[in-house]
Every structure is written in C-alpha cells, then in structure tokens.
Structure 1
Amino acid sequence: MAIDFSITSSIASSGRKTFSAQRIKSSEPKFIIGSKTNYEGNYGLFNTSVTTGLAYNPEDYVSEFGFLAYFIYPTAMAESSGSFKCLNTYDRAQFTFSFMQYAAHVPNGDFIKFFRRLLQLPNASDYFPKLVLSNNRICYKATNGTLSPLESDTSSQALMDYLNPSLNDVENQELICSARFIHWATNDANHRKAQVASAIELYKENMKSYHNRYGLDGVPAHVCQMICDIRHQGRAKSDRIALALNTNGNYEKAFTNLCTIGNTNYQSRINTVRNTIKKLTDLGKFSMKYNAKTGEFVKI
C-alpha cells in the first residue's frame, strides 16, 4: 500500500516558511520536510537537521564494511553532520539527498546509483509506486503499464523533473517526494544502509581512479581522504591536487598542502574534515595506507 502524506506549512522562528508532513491514515507524528529558501534566484527546500539516531556513526557499519566505514566519515560530517535525511532542492541538481549529499543531475552519478539501490528494497513501491527499475534504469510506470526511462547514460533530467518540477517555486510534487525520502530514511534501517553502501562503493571506485591520476599506492589514509573530499565537493581540479602531492614522499607536507586548497571559500568545511580525521587518528582508526594492487586500505 502506497504511503501518502498531507503537507502543511508554518513560519519558523527564523522567519522562513517551513513545510511539514504527516502520514495519512496513521497516528505517526508530523515531521519537518524542510524550509523554503532562495538561492541565486532559484527556490527550493533545505533540511540539515540531525535527529538522534539518524546521524551516521561508522561504528554501526564497520563490522560489514571495515575501514571504509571510517574513511567516508570526515566527508559525511562536512556534507551534513552525518544526517541521513539531509535534503536540498534549490540548486541546479534540483534534488540532493543523503548524509553524503548525492545529487540527481549527474547521469549514472551517485544519486542515480543510490536511487537504483533503493528501488530494489522490498518497500520501494510503498514510497514510489510509479517508479520501477527496468534494465537497471529508473523508469516511470504509467497506469497502462508502459515504462518510460527517466534517466540514461547522457541525462537524468526527466528524473530531476519528476522529483522537483522546477526551481521557480516549491511545488507539491517536490514536497511529496522530499517527504517520501525523509520518512523512508527515518523509518527504515535498510534505506540508511543503502546510503552507506552507496558511499562505500563510490569512494572505493574513486580511489582506483585517483590512484591512476595521482599515484596513491602506499599513501596514508588521511592524505587519500582529503583528496576524496576535495574531489567529492569539487573544490579543485586534478592539476592543483597533483601539485599539492608533489612533495617527494613527504606525506605530512602533502596533507598540509591539500588542506589549503579552497581555503578562501571553504575553510569551515576543511576544518571539519581535518578535525574529524584527527579524531579518528587519535582513536587509532586511521593508521592505514592505500594498496593500489588490491584496491583496499591496509595497516601501516
């Protein structure tokens, strides 16, 4: 049975219009979807709140994913403070969700792969009854059963428009889709696990690519993590990273160099990543280096 929501709005103490949802025909409490915001002339929602129990804790996943559960943690803290229900719908991606902020505008990108994974969960049809996975493509299923792909190797625009019809205002479809994602993440551990598995897979594949570009065999995890975070956010291109790494094997100098990339505009984020890495290092969780042959991290 499809899960439906009623939508209400109010003015928060910040003065922003805030939208909430409540599951229809249920005694479940009302929950916040997000607040309306204006970004570079676009209108959409944002929700960065972290609810107890709904923040990413690597200890919950290390038994299954090993060191990589820690490796993604600094970026998760920088992106969303680890919030499994972090949302924004106001920029060119039109829909961005998860503790790692997967963005819908990239064909075959992190959001697309994550959503494909979600649509394989047993309760997917409860949340998105009109979306199905066919030939590993997210498709819209019409009443007569006809399937229309919403994404391809070259575009995800149709899926973006399904989740958020426009950036001109906050529409009902945008609110309903946002409510579905938030409610699903809040109430289903398998949804949260899908977020984590997607992040692990993403960073594992990225490390293979970054090794081919930068030569990362034997490089300590803290240096590799900062590279991954720079590339995940997109705050520098490859040549700038390669220059920072050109230290004749002095990895501490390389790490310091990497921490200066983007510091004019993103110092707060860099501090979060660096401080989280230090915390993990002090706990003895980050004494690892990359093994390019196996594509895994091994103890130093």
Structure 2
Amino acid sequence: MKVVNFSLENGNRYYGKIDGERFFIGQRVPYQGLKGLMNVAGSPAQKYDRAQYRAIHGFWADFMHPTAMAEGALFHTLNTYDRALFTFSFLQYAAHVPNGDFVVYLRSLLALSQARDYFPDLTLQNGRICRVTDTGVRPLESDDSTTGLQDYLNPTSQEVEDTEIVQAAKFIHWVQRDPEHRHVQVAVGVAHFKEKMKRYAVQYHLDGADDITCLLVADIRHQGRAKGPVIAAALASSNPQAALLKIGETSYPERVATLKREIKALTADGTFGRRRYHLDSGEFALN
C-alpha cells in the first residue's frame, strides 16, 4: 500500500512523498469563491506525445492532439476547485459526470496490477466503482450520480482538505511512474473521441466532413464552450472552420490560439487536411 506524506510550503504549494520520492502535488488556488488544487506544471517528458501512441491508435492519436495541448497535455494535469470537484489527466477527465470520461478512466485503472497499491479500498463490482468499508462494499457511482466518488476524492470545494491532497498525490505519483497507467489515459481518450464523433456526425451532419472541421467541433464540445445551435450556425456559414474558431475566441483566447497553432503545425506536416470522417466505419479515411 502506498503511504502518502505531504507538506505545505511557500504558503500555497503542496508537496508529497511516496516510497521516499518527493514530488509536487499542486498549488492551492481560489476560484469563484471556492478553493482547491491545481497542477499544470511539468516537463515535456510528462506530456502527451502523439508519436508514442500512433502505432496503437493510428490517426486518433493525432486527432486529439490539439485538444490535449489546449488542456495542458500533462498526464498529471489536476484541478479540484470547480464543480467537478476532481479533474485529472492530459484531457482533464472530470469526476462529476455519471459514466463520464473520469469514471471510465478510474474503472480501467482499477483493473491494473498496481491498483491495490494505490487504492486498496476501491474495487469494481458489477462494473461499478465501489469502496470497501468495515460495513461492506458501497457503490460510489451509478447511472445517475457520482456524488459518492466525488466525496471520496474531494469532500468539498470550500477548503483544501487532507483527503483531496492524498488522493491527488496518489494519481500523480502513479501516472508519472507507470507507463501502463498512461496508456489507459490515452486509450480512454481515444475511445471517448471515437464515441463522440459518431454522435456529432449525426447531430451536425459531419459524415464526409474534413478532419479539421471535425476536430474543431469535437474540441468545442469537449470544453463545452458552445451548444448545438451555435455550432450548427458556424457549420452552415461560408467558412465553417473560421466560424468554429471564432466560437469562444473572446472568452478563451489562449485555447483558441493553441488550437490554431497546433492545427497549423499538423497541417504543415501532412497529418491534417487529408482525411474525411465516415460514419459507417466510424473512422477517418484519406481523401
């Protein structure tokens, strides 16, 4: 079992130690009257690298690259200060959505060999994340709620509690040191984008659409910066890609700038601009 020790230093920075190794957990930050942890600091080696996963996931490893860069790209990207209560991974999987990306991610993690070392009190039962207690096994999530899971990870957003520090430390230490954990993160991300693209292709008539347009729609929906009618209006314009890039440009200038930069780079190297999405196969194919 992994034992977490932590310390608060320089007023707002938490550091952890597991197996004698010291590492940064996160910075205490305020957010709209709430408080939590944030970790968006790391080295290039700790970031998602599409080239490492292309052999397994093909073009999908490239397709989600711009969104990963916009989300920080670090496998240990963390925030515990907003309504999700716990968000983690290079694509920022959020714990507040029933059957959502974080829930699927943690279910997959619990199947790994090191799961019992980091979370000995968690188990899967009937496909659900459960906690083993002195009084029995208690489900932490269902089709309708993840309240139990959120409470397990971070009891409140009113203050930074020991619980969220310890749980965050476990996730960070595990993903930084276990390639299998990182492969799970990526596999969950690819599956998420594949599933969503099938829905978007129907909702926004993207069957046969080019890869850049599909990526822009997927990124808008991933972040949640616009709803269906706004996206549909952009797609119906004379220049859909330009219109899609305008969505959120005022409120999220850094994200849109990152998307533009990454799309330009992937287009220049021949990755983007040569494929179209086909709903019947659920895949992108060369023009």
Identify whether the pair has TM-score above 0.5, normalized to the shorter chain. Answer: yes
Q: Deviations over 1:260-282 (max 9, x none)?
A: 11112012101101210111111
Equivalent position of 1:17 in the other structure = 12
How far 1:288 sits from its partner (Å)?
A: 1.2
How far 1:217 sits from its partner (Å)?
A: 1.2
State the TM-score, normalized to the length of structure 2: 0.98
Equivalent position of 2:155 in the other structure = 165
Q: 1:243 aligns with which of 225, 233, 243?
A: 233
Which amino acid in structure 2 is aligned with residue 298 of structure 1? Answer: A
Q: 1:53 aligns with which of 41, 45, 52?
A: 45
2:2 is equivalent to residue 7 of structure 1: no
Amino-acid identity (%): 44
Q: 1:178 aligns with which of 148, 168, 171?
A: 168
How far 1:165 sits from its partner (Å)?
A: 1.1
State the TM-score, normalized to the length of structure 1: 0.93
Equivalent position of 1:35 in the other structure = 27
Distance in 2 (CA, whole Å) between partners of 1:89 and 1:202 is 22
Distance in 2 (CA, whole Å) between partners of 1:51 and 1:263 is 28
How far 1:201 sits from its partner (Å)?
A: 0.4
2:125 is equivalent to residue 103 of structure 1: no
Q: Deviations over 1:28-87 (max 9, x none)?
A: 3x100001011111110000012232100000000000000000000000011x100000
Where 1:298 maps in the other structure, the secondary structure is strand
2:275 is equivalent to residue 280 of structure 1: no
Where 1:264 maps in the other structure, the secondary structure is coil
Q: Map 1:95-174 onto structure 2 (within 5 A).
A: 95-143=86-134, 146-174=136-164
Which amino acid in structure 2 is aligned with residue 262 of structure 1? Answer: G
Shift of the 27–162 alpha-carbon distance from structure 1 to 2, 3 Å rule, reads closer
Where 2:250 maps in the other structure, the secondary structure is helix
Distance in 1 (CA, whole Å) between partners of 2:218 and 2:260 is 13
Distance in 2 (CA, whole Å) between partners of 1:261 and 1:41 is 27
Deviates more, 1:68-77 or 1:46-55: 46-55
Where 2:25 maps in the other structure, the secondary structure is strand
Which amino acid in structure 2 is aligned with residue 104 of structure 1? Answer: A
Distance in 1 (CA, whole Å) between partners of 2:20 and 2:81 is 31
Give me the CA root mean square deviation.
1.0
User: What is the number of equivalent residue pairs in this alignment?
Assistant: 286
How far 1:130 sits from its partner (Å)?
A: 0.3
2:286 is equivalent to residue 299 of structure 1: yes
Gaps of 5+ in 2: none
Which amino acid in structure 2 is aligned with residue 10 of structure 1? Answer: E
Q: Map 1:238-277 onto structure 2 (within 5 A).
A: 238-247=228-237, 253-277=239-263
Distance in 1 (CA, whole Å) between partners of 2:23 and 2:44 is 14
Q: 2:191 aligns with which of 201, 210, 213?
A: 201
Distance in 2 (CA, whole Å) between partners of 1:211 and 1:167 is 37
Equivalent position of 1:83 in the other structure = 74
Q: 2:209 aligns with which of 207, 219, 223?
A: 219
Distance in 2 (CA, whole Å) between partners of 1:84 and 1:283 is 25
Where 2:265 maps in the other structure, the secondary structure is helix
